[in-house]
Structure 1
Amino acid sequence: MSLRGWLDIHGHFYPPQAPGEAEALAESFRAACFMVSRPVTWEVESILQYNGQANVQMQMLSYIPQSSPEKLKQANTYAASLVSKYPSRFGLLAALPTDDPELCLSEIERTTSTFEIPADGFAVTTVYNGVGLGDPRLEPVWDALNSRKAVVHIHPNAYAAPANGRPSPLIEVAFDTARTVVDMLYNGVFRRYPDIKFVLAHCGGVLPILSGRLALLGTEEWVPNPNDITRKEIEEQLGRLFVDTAATAKTGLQPAVKMVGLENVVYGADCGVPCSTEQTMEENRKDIMDFEAQNDIPRGTILANAWKLFPQAAARVTANDV
């Protein structure tokens, strides 16, 4: 089987739910101004059907439940079972509980050494139970991931409070991503761990648009800079990041490409959660193809980028060649 389709790096899922859990989840969404009208569920058959229609050959699964380490581990184990069942259709970005460095290290080891198919990469959220990714307590975690040359997907905090009566996934997530990456930058995370391939969701949020301002002003004397990050480092370290295209391609691709380069843009659908529908995912995918056409980029360039980022996943697909 050739690498003919898209690899979607940004696919959410929910593990099997107890009775009443789907409605309780929907109620919590509504309490956060996210106006879902039905229980929040996830069915693997529906995802596979949509992916087949959309020419999505493989989808990376990630889910970072709040507060409960046990639920996080159960979610990783469940997703790993789906990867084992559908090795050429799914991959796993194992969730890491970044409020607990020791548990992170344990989960990195468990998901790469005990699963039938090891995790393809890892998923973290900008703020997890109050702990941001720039927190110095995470140094051992970044060190372990750097030694593995791991792919780490950074997703904004999906559990943030609403703002002005609107849910955080509408626009707040874009600012959340930028704040977190800037904090990691000034704390020296990207300087010390250059072998981690960090992928930012949603074209990096507002970060690409602000990257020029950051380079221009970020080393001025009025900006606290305890690690003496230079302007050159700001530009180079931001340029090494990857971004996915989830729900932002129409206006997000141009500044993202300017910041990270075309080769560091990968496809993301934001599939599997109520903020995305088949209609919005298809419109976003069309925007990607339109962007390629309008900028004289060979069709399928962005489609191919993620396969380079995940060679083990690509190998599972080609191993099924008949």
Structure 2
Amino acid sequence: MERIDVHCHAVAPGYRQYALDSGHEQPDGMPCLPAWSPESHIALMKKLNITKSILSITSPGTHLSPDHDAAAMTRQTNAELSAISRAHPSHFRFFASLPLPLVEASMAEIDHALDDLGAVGFAVLSNANGVYLGDAVLDPVFAKLNARKAIVFIHPTTCNVTMTPSTSTSTSTFHAVKPLTNYPRPMMEFMFDETRAIANLLLSGTVARHPHVTFIMSHCGCALPSLVDRIGAFATLLGSGGGESDQSGEFRRLLRERFFFDLAGFPFPNQIHGLLRVLGDGGEGRLMYGTDYPFTPEKVVVDLAAQLDQGCEELFDAEQRGAVYSSNAEKLFGL
């Protein structure tokens, strides 16, 4: 069955060098930056009948060091992904990165990426140097994304905490939160951090205020399905959103109408069922295929594809599986 991969990454030469120069030889506690080339990626696509892959830069993103101009490096990296996509138009599209939490530079990059580079949307991390999606400081960026009817792919990263500026400097610093340091953060912490970001987007009203932004949440909703009713109940009790209505129901509605969810990672045998309970009837219409290649190695990607096939055959009929694997993405991106 044809597949469209909405969650996969590029480690192109310019970005690789930038990451290494910024001290990210082992990003988020992973063993290394994986090898990547368009040719190796296309070979995997042929093996799994993936007709289109939407490339993105993953954690730790493009704002890596105070010693570099984040806006310039983000623009350079987006240009690199654009060039790769133009060189292989039958295989690749790309999500542009934004130099968050820099507001003005991010707003400028939205127009440049859409109008000049051909991006199909934007890849943003759950937090940008300690500023979480849904923070009021990012409201102008989301207003711009809303005006452009943008697609926003949200990817988890390491939890970062912003520190108060010292009396000797006005510059805030941040540091990574690394509990259980003997395990790489993508194993568990990524799932918690993206859940934190989506909760903040819902609780802050960012999703409700920007109805023309379409969100893609990664990794089968992370831990959100287990917590969305608890988050909504607390919001109702504390008076968030006016305090009169059931915020749990409203949050579930927003997830069903405004979000898609990729299935990169390990949705089967268990995780998928919590998400489908939240999405309700027709929930397969909000699901999309993803590999997380090359940070998930090729052999594991192939094995997970087989698990996904088996799991989807048990849950969905042929038309529904076609929606999950390709037609949902085709409609959203106009492919």
Which of the five TM-score ranges fits, normalised by the shorter chain?
0.7 to 0.9
What is residue 82 of structure 2 aligned with on the other side? 80
Alpha-carbon distance, 1:13 to partner: 1.1
Residue identity opposite 2:274 in structure 1: P
Seen in structure 2, the aligned counterparts of structure 1 residues 167 and 17 have a Cα distance that, compared at 3 Å, is same
Q: Bigger shift: 232-241 or 260-269?
A: 232-241
What is residue 181 of structure 1 aligned with on the other side? 198
Query: Is 1:268 equivalent to 2:283 in the alignment?
Result: no
Residue identity opposite 1:237 in structure 2: L
Residue identity opposite 1:269 in structure 2: T
Seen in structure 2, the aligned counterparts of structure 1 residues 295 and 16 have a Cα distance that, compared at 3 Å, is same
Q: Bigger shift: 299-308 or 86-95?
A: 299-308
Query: Is 1:34 equivalent to 2:30 in the alignment?
Result: yes
Alpha-carbon distance, 1:20 to partner: 7.4
What is residue 38 of structure 2 aligned with on the other side? 44
Query: Is 1:66 equivalent to 2:63 in the alignment?
Result: yes
Residue identity opposite 1:90 in structure 2: F
Alpha-carbon distance, 1:18 to partner: 8.8
What is residue 288 of structure 1 aligned with on the other side? 308
- The secondary structure found in structure 1 opposite 2:157 is coil
Alpha-carbon distance, 1:145 to partner: 1.3
Alpha-carbon distance, 1:108 to partner: 0.7
What is residue 127 of structure 1 aligned with on the other side? 127
Cα pair 2:236 2:246 within 8 Å, conserved = no
Residue identity opposite 1:147 in structure 2: A
Cα pair 2:3 2:50 within 8 Å, conserved = yes
* Structure 1 unaligned blocks of 5 or more: 315-322
Seen in structure 2, the aligned counterparts of structure 1 residues 102 and 26 have a Cα distance that, compared at 3 Å, is closer
What is residue 225 of structure 1 aligned with on the other side? 240
Cα pair 2:121 2:150 within 8 Å, conserved = yes
Query: Is 1:100 equivalent to 2:93 in the alignment?
Result: no
Cα pair 1:263 1:302 within 8 Å, conserved = yes
TM-score, normalising length: structure 1 = 0.85
Q: Deviations over 1:188-215 (max 9, x none)?
A: 0111012211001111110012223334
What is residue 169 of structure 2 aligned with on the other side? none
What is residue 278 of structure 1 aligned with on the other side? 298
Query: Is 1:207 equivalent to 2:224 in the alignment?
Result: yes
Query: What is the distance in 2 between the residues matched to 1:129 and 1:237?
Result: 27
Cα pair 2:149 2:214 within 8 Å, conserved = yes
Query: Is 1:242 equivalent to 2:260 in the alignment?
Result: yes
What is residue 12 of structure 1 aligned with on the other side? 9
Seen in structure 2, the aligned counterparts of structure 1 residues 193 and 23 have a Cα distance that, compared at 3 Å, is closer
Residue identity opposite 2:187 in structure 1: L
Alpha-carbon distance, 1:26 to partner: 8.8
What is residue 317 of structure 1 aligned with on the other side? none
Cα pair 2:15 2:77 within 8 Å, conserved = no
RMSD (Å) for aligned C-alpha atoms = 2.4
Cα pair 1:257 1:265 within 8 Å, conserved = no
Residue identity opposite 2:262 in structure 1: D
Query: What is the distance in 1 between the residues matched to 2:135 and 2:333?
Result: 27
Seen in structure 2, the aligned counterparts of structure 1 residues 178 and 18 have a Cα distance that, compared at 3 Å, is closer
Cα pair 1:249 1:287 within 8 Å, conserved = no
Query: What is the distance in 2 between the residues matched to 1:233 and 1:70?
Result: 39
What is residue 145 of structure 2 aligned with on the other side? 145
* Structure 2 unaligned blocks of 5 or more: 65-69, 160-175
Alpha-carbon distance, 1:130 to partner: 1.8
Q: Deviations over 1:157-182 (max 9, x none)?
A: 15854421211100111111111111
Select the residue among 44, 53, 56 that pairs with 2:50: 56
Seen in structure 2, the aligned counterparts of structure 1 residues 26 and 13 have a Cα distance that, compared at 3 Å, is farther
Alpha-carbon distance, 1:88 to partner: 1.7
Residue identity opposite 1:154 in structure 2: I
Query: Is 1:193 equivalent to 2:213 in the alignment?
Result: no
Counting aligned pairs with the same residue, the percent is: 27
Cα pair 2:266 2:304 within 8 Å, conserved = yes
- The secondary structure found in structure 2 opposite 1:272 is coil
TM-score, normalising length: structure 2 = 0.82
Seen in structure 2, the aligned counterparts of structure 1 residues 286 and 300 have a Cα distance that, compared at 3 Å, is farther
Alpha-carbon distance, 1:49 to partner: 0.9
Cα pair 2:218 2:263 within 8 Å, conserved = yes
